[in-house]
Chain A
Amino acid sequence: MTNLTASEWLSDKNIDEENIHFIESLLTFTSVVKVATNKKGAINNSLKQEFPSKQFLISPEMSYLQFEKTLKDNNISVEANNVLEVYKNQGLCEPLCNEWLDQFKQISK
């Protein structure tokens, strides 16, 4: 697992390129919205154009459970916590991955 990049790891789990791109977009643009809450509308509109078939709503309040649900709603069959671990270890959107992984740990207790 450690020798693979996050996208290679997802690809190894049979996640296609579009869904990998979608997951990366969820992470990067949720990171933005958590800092710049006023960008919520512009970001969602822009991503809806880029991913017209996907169901999602990026918001500053987005939680681990909503991230997990977004993956399920879009038929992306991979454990949300494992995705976050992989990206966190790679150093992408680390604060967001940590926040959601903390929520996951609380739920799992």
Chain B
Amino acid sequence: MFKKIALWIISTVLLISAFIPLGELKVEANNDSSITSIQTDDLDNQRVNMDVISTQSSEPTMGTYGLKSKAVIKVAQLLRAGGDEVIDAARAFNILGKAEAKVLKNNSKKIGKYLEQFENAGSDAAAMIRSQLPVWLKNNTSMGKGTAENIAIAISWAVRGADWIFI
């Protein structure tokens, strides 16, 4: 009888001790899965944040016309076609007055052709046009130097803003 009781106690203890580690393992496993899910959530958040950052830092100098040299191609093309779009924009945004607009209209094809040499100037194109166009206008047209300067400023402005002016 005593033997039977002793055997029952031993087997019960063994059974209990066999289940306890399993329980602990289950708890640990649950903890691991919760850690894993937290880490996954963090990664997801980081990815979302990175997406937001990468969207916000999209290259602002790139646009519909891409690099600035493409803006020169566009403005030159518009001027060769008579210049109405460029002139209308410069008038609408109060850059040029009536008199300068008329002079630009009369010389637009010539200026459009001259601008072709800046088509490969990349991001320096607008600054190069601003500094070189007045000299060329002075030597190749009869316009006054103040008007030539205004027209150079307006063309340089149109090149810099081509992405949103001529959409």
**What A residues does B131 contact at CB under 8 A?**
17
Partner pick for A49 among B60, B153, B161, B164, CB 8 A cutoff: B60
Partner pick for A5 among B97, B145, B154, CB 8 A cutoff: B145
User: Given A7-B149, A32-B161, are A92 and B95 also a contact pair (CB < 8 Å)?
Assistant: yes
User: Given A28-B95, A31-B94, A31-B95, are A90 and B149 also a contact pair (CB < 8 Å)?
Assistant: yes
A55 to chain B, nearest CB (A): 19
Contact A46 B150 (CB under 8 A): no
Contact A32 B93 (CB under 8 A): yes
Contact A92 B60 (CB under 8 A): no
**What A residues does B60 contact at CB under 8 A?**
42, 45-46, 49
**What A residues does B100 contact at CB under 8 A?**
91
Contact B61 A5 (CB under 8 A): no
Task: Determine the main DSSP class of A at the interface with B.
Answer: helix
Cβ of A72 < 8 Å from any Cβ of B? no
**What A residues does B147 contact at CB under 8 A?**
91
Interface flags for A13-50 (1: CB within 8 Å of B; 0: not) read: 00001000100100011011011100100110110011
Cβ of B16 < 8 Å from any Cβ of A? no
Cβ of B121 < 8 Å from any Cβ of A? no
Contact B153 A92 (CB under 8 A): yes
Partner pick for A96 among B94, B154, B164, CB 8 A cutoff: B94
Chain A to chain B contacts (Cβ below 8 Å), 25 pairs: A5-B134, A6-B149, A7-B149, A21-B127, A21-B130, A24-B130, A28-B154, A29-B161, A31-B94, A32-B93, A35-B92, A35-B94, A45-B60, A46-B60, A46-B160, A49-B60, A49-B61, A50-B160, A90-B146, A91-B96, A91-B100, A91-B147, A91-B150, A92-B153, A94-B94
Residues of B within 8 A of A (CB): 60-61, 92-97, 99-100, 127, 130-131, 134, 145-147, 149-150, 153-154, 157, 160-161, 164
Q: Shortest 5 CB-CB distances between A and B: which pairs?
A: A90-B146, A95-B94, A5-B149, A32-B93, A91-B97
Inter-chain pairs besides A5-B134, A31-B95, 15 sampled, C-beta below 8 Å: A5-B149, A6-B149, A21-B130, A24-B130, A28-B93, A28-B95, A29-B157, A31-B94, A35-B93, A35-B94, A90-B150, A92-B150, A93-B94, A94-B97, A96-B94
